[in-house]
Structure 1
Amino acid sequence: MDVMQIVVFSEAEFRDETTTNGRELTLMTDTARLLGCRIVPLPDALDDDPQLEGAFAYVPVFAEPVQGVWVGYIPTPERYRAVYDAARRHNIFLVNSPEQNRTAMEFPRFYPLLADLTPRSVVVTDPA
């Protein structure tokens, strides 16, 4: 039986474990580790390493494509793109592309897809 390799990109190591979110990130990361997933800790910021070379220094380039998932907080589009691109250089594919991630996270992008299923909504961009 083939076993699917999953890589988990985790922000748990850089968060406050005394908060509910921090504890949940740690629990999800620890569970993934126990299930045999490879854990890649993500740095807190991209300022010093925008290509994430340091974070991926010990991540192999997989011979076959592997699936990747993000365990962390909602990233900026730039941060998501940086992790997505770094992962692709290692033959790791996040479940969502940067465009799919933005569509799921930004109301003006996802609302038209759900407009017929939800109450009418509008986006206010100017308080006046």
Structure 2
Amino acid sequence: MSVQRAGSNPFKFDSGIDAIVRGSQAEQMPMAEVGPAWVAQRSLLDQLYALPNLEDYLWSQVAPEISEAALLLPYRFWQAVESARDRLQAAAAKDARNARLLQRAVAVLDDQSDLFGLLQQYRLALVAG
């Protein structure tokens, strides 16, 4: 366990959340893009004592295989969603027989993007106070 000296931490223990959130640019820590864990694991006790059941079987069948962990980063995920939306729209333009189904898929992606934007607005409103 390491001990930090008094001047090494940009956040002081006696400062409130307002001072941390609204602090000057010099006091703010740089935001780094932190990658997710490579494999999400259950706790060791859950692995030891849990008996396999129907829910475990269904989850193992439905859970997607993620070959690239960087897709779990928000920016990369929404970039992949936009790419999928563009491909679906291009496929709908080419395939007249399945165009209605593909346009519904595009509408679902648009709806999810709009809901995420609304969530971001609420989050910013809460932080701003």
TM-score for both structures, normalised by structure 1: 0.29
Higher relative contact order (CA 8 A, sep 6+): 1
Quick check: which has more Rg, 1 or 2? 2
Identify the structure with the greater helix proportion: 2
